Amino acid sequence: MEPIVVVGSGASGVHFALTALRKGRRVLMLDVGHTARGTVRPSDSLNELKKNLPDPIDYFLGSRYESLVLPGGHGEYYAFPPTKQHVFKKPAGFQHRASGFNPIYSFAAGGLAEAWTGGCYPFTARELNKFPFSYEELAPYYAKVAENIGINGADDDLTSVFGWQGDLMKPLDLDDHASLLLDTYKRHRTVLKEKFGCSMGRARCAALSKELPNRKACSYCGRCLWGCPSGAFYTPSLTLDECRTYPNFQYIPGLYVDHFRMDNSGKAKTVVASSAKGEIQEFAADSLVLAAGTLCSAKIFLESIYRNTAETPELRGVMDNRQILMPFVNLRLLGRKWNPNSYQYHQIAIAVENANEHLHGLVTTLKTALIHPLVQTLPFDLGTAVSVFRNIHGALGMVNINLSDERREENHVKLDVTTTPHRLSIQYRAKPDEPQRLKRAISTYRKILRKLGCFAPSRTVHIRPMGSSVHYAGTLPMQSTRVPLTCSKYGRSHDVENLYFADGSTFPELPAKNITLTLMANATRIAEEAF
Amino acid sequence: MNNTSQLERECHTYTQYLIGQSPSPYVVNRYLDFHQKSDAVRASGFDAFDRFLVSLSARRPFWAGMADSYASVFRKDSVVRKKLVVTLALLECAASSFEALDDVQGLSLAATIFQLSWRALRYSLLLGASVLVFTPVRIVTSLSLKPRALPVLER
């Protein structure tokens, strides 16, 4: 019997594979699989790295200064560090065309979640309303994933918003700023709840507060943004490493899967992939699982349909979370010293649930991010800006606000066959009421922050381009009825009998939150129940 | 003055201006290396006025402040601003200079607000002075001088 062929080693792919391997199935994983350079000086803190590395600028900015953000640049407050550039490196010849959408792809071992921020937020029963299964069916898989990856969090006001509580590790230590924000919230909890529908509490993060086999607990070294040196922070490459310990697992990196061939009965017969040198390889497949991420899975599927039928269908309903970055200053912390040795991603979360909208805000207090992208945005000369920044650094924070999205016919991906090689074409149009939604969200969070003693200057609020959140979903949604270009509740294609989708392609809706935990839980569910 | 000397001078002046220290030889080498490898200060439509701002700002930290104040409002994407951001980015990654950037006095809230207000006022005054100095120069250079490349190192 041929192995299950899995394409892609991201959060979905590795959780599908691990579950199938544990069931005794043979798995062949095909992947481009770009990898990071090795971890340097794992016991050093961030500032020790600056002192001890022979060439710290190479480490922090890159040998070609690729992480330097200059005036007139992309307008983001962060640059991806050189240590994570491999996450976004594309194979030669890979092309796309996009309108109204700024897609980000990953061909790394571990996929896009190699550069995620660790937010683990289950979908609630309400948010799974359009899925063809109930919350109760998914909940056990949230627990399995939590057991695998280690999630920390607390039972607090956000428990009612997040639903599933599960077996969480105790939360990581808060830094002074996050601690002050939570204390202030507790004093104003009733007003914030009544006026804005606001709940605030500890973020749920895939970072270890206690040791697991082969992984250390967080040491608060401050290096999160540059890649956790101890494995305390979860990335899918850790699960890929675990998969590789199974004798029934074969991982072949260095291959870009282009399409699959079908036999006369319409089943996927072989998977066609090419190496960096252009050598074509073909792999027999009894069952094929596409877990290359929503857009790359769409590309493989559409290319295969075109090659086998000469048709170029549109996959409608592509979704992503619109995100707003809102920097703020906590006025009570002006001029205060701060500690760089702390957990750098989200320590607290602010959910807003009211009649208009459900919003999800993740708060980070920005201690060890490079400062030059932010300093240059201050309304002064750089000399003054440096002096001002020094005094507001400990008081700075950023809320990353997520808005929900829904499948709409006008947003689609299709294959553009007019170019060689063929390319993915993506079209996205925001809903007409989006400006009002954004305005309301910005206004609500600014008022909440004001109540928390913080000031969020309106000119620094940044509405990220659609595609920036990388929460892509909805192109081949799960549904109960057998309709072309959809899949079953087990991710099984309604078009190709032995083809499965195990990534965000299958989500029929996209709530306002990080989807990675649900991607992992759903892939685990599919492997457990369909294989 | 050759290109290398000019760039070294820029790096020294900008570092003095930003953190009140001299740059380490490592930072200076990296500043030169950046100009060798990056097109950012080569390809961005600089003109005679840009060239003038860079040349003047490299003379003394005071002039760097004047040029930067003017650029912070009227030439946000100018070459002088880019060079200053490059210097800042290098300094924040290197030993000793990152500590100068992170160093907080830990003053009381009132003292901090006073200090911030003073810095803002000083900036306003410098901005006003820079407008008086640079506006005529900008007009003259736009009428008379043709664009020329800024110093870069051969790749």
With an 8 Å Cβ cutoff, are A381 and B77 in contact?
no
Q: Compute the distance between CA of residue A152 and CA of residue A188 in angstroms, rounded to an integer.
A: 25
Q: Return the H-helix or E-strand segment holding A441.
A: helix A434-451
B9: exposed, middle or buried (Cβ count in 10 Å: 0-12, 13-18, 19+) = middle
Q: Compute the distance between CA of residue A282 and CA of residue A284 in angstroms, rounded to an integer.
A: 7
Strands A323-330 and A462-463: antiparallel
The average pLDDT across B12-36 equals: 96
Whether B1 shows a pLDDT value over 60: the answer reads: no
B125 touching A, CB under 8 A? no
User: What is the reported pTM?
Assistant: 0.93
Three-state SS string over A232-274 comes to CECCHHHHHHHHCCCCCEEEECCEEEEEEEECCCCCEEEEEEE
pLDDT, position B148: 58
Q: Of A63, A371, A376, A384, which to mutate for an interface test with B (greatest number of B Cβ within 10 Å)?
A: A384
- C-alpha distances in Å from residue B100, one per residue of A33, B19, B64, B94, B104: 40, 6, 19, 10, 9
Q: Are A72 and B77 in contact (CB under 8 A)?
A: yes
pLDDT, position A309: 94
Q: Are A520 and A11 in contact (CB under 8 A)?
A: yes
- C-alpha distances in Å from residue A28, one per residue of A8, A258, B62: 10, 16, 65
Measured between CB atoms, which of A57, A334, A383 is closest to B90?
A57
pLDDT bin (cut points 50, 70, 90) of residue B102 is confident
* Chain B CB contacts of A381 below 8 Å: 65, 68-69, 71-72, 123, 126-127
Measured between CB atoms, which of A51, A64, A71 is closest to B81?
A71
Name the DSSP letter for residue A435: H
Measured between CB atoms, which of B40, B88, B107 is closest to A386?
B88
Measured between CB atoms, which of B94, B119, B122 is closest to A56?
B94
With an 8 Å Cβ cutoff, are A386 and B19 in contact?
yes
With an 8 Å Cβ cutoff, are B38 and A65 in contact?
yes
Q: Residue A380: how many CB atoms within 10 A of its CB?
A: 24
Mean pLDDT in order along chain A per 10 residues (531 residues): 93 98 97 92 95 96 93 73 91 91 96 96 94 96 95 93 82 96 97 96 96 93 94 97 98 97 94 94 96 98 96 97 96 92 95 91 90 92 95 94 96 96 96 96 98 94 94 97 96 97 98 96 97 94
With an 8 Å Cβ cutoff, are A335 and B104 in contact?
yes
Task: Please give the structure tokens belonging to residue B11.
Answer: 């790096």
With an 8 Å Cβ cutoff, are B127 and A381 in contact?
yes
Q: Compute the distance between CA of residue A250 and CA of residue A510 in angstroms, rounded to an integer.
A: 33
pLDDT, position B48: 87
Q: Compute the distance between CA of residue B6 and CA of residue B16 in angstroms, rounded to an integer.
A: 15
Measured between CB atoms, which of A334, A371, A376 is closest to B113?
A334
Q: Are B65 and A383 in contact (CB under 8 A)?
A: yes
A355: exposed, middle or buried (Cβ count in 10 Å: 0-12, 13-18, 19+) = exposed
The predicted complex's ipTM stands at 0.92
Task: Please give the structure tokens belonging to residue B49.
Answer: 């006025």
- Residue B138: name the closest of B59, B78, B61, B64 by CA: B78
- Residue A321: name the closest of A206, A465, A456, A193 by CA: A465
B140 touching A, CB under 8 A? no
Amino acid identity of residue A480, one-letter, is: S
Q: Are B150 and B53 in contact (CB under 8 A)?
A: no
Q: Compute the distance between CA of residue A301 and CA of residue A310 in angstroms, rounded to an integer.
A: 13
With an 8 Å Cβ cutoff, are A382 and B88 in contact?
yes
Q: Taking each helix axis from N to C terminus, what angle separates A382-392 and B3-19, rounded to the nearest 10 degrees?
A: 40
A301: exposed, middle or buried (Cβ count in 10 Å: 0-12, 13-18, 19+) = buried
What does the domain layout of chain B look like in residue ranges?
3-144
With an 8 Å Cβ cutoff, are B107 and A50 in contact?
no
DSSP-derived 3-state class of residue B90: helix
Measured between CB atoms, which of A332, A386, A394 is closest to B104?
A394
Shortest alpha-carbon distance between residue A323 and chain B (Å):
26
Shortest alpha-carbon distance between residue A171 and chain B (Å):
28
With an 8 Å Cβ cutoff, are B122 and A380 in contact?
no
**Between chain A and chain B, how many beta carbons pairs sit less than 8 Å apart?**
130
Residues of chain B numbered 45-74 and touching chain A (CB < 8 Å): 64-65, 68-69, 71-72
Comparing alpha-carbon positions, the chain B residue that sits nearest to A65 is B34
Q: Residue A415: how many CB atoms within 10 A of its CB?
A: 23
Which runs of consecutive H residues, i.e. helices, occur in A210-357?
236-243, 294-309
Q: Are B142 and B134 in contact (CB under 8 A)?
A: no
pLDDT, position B145: 56
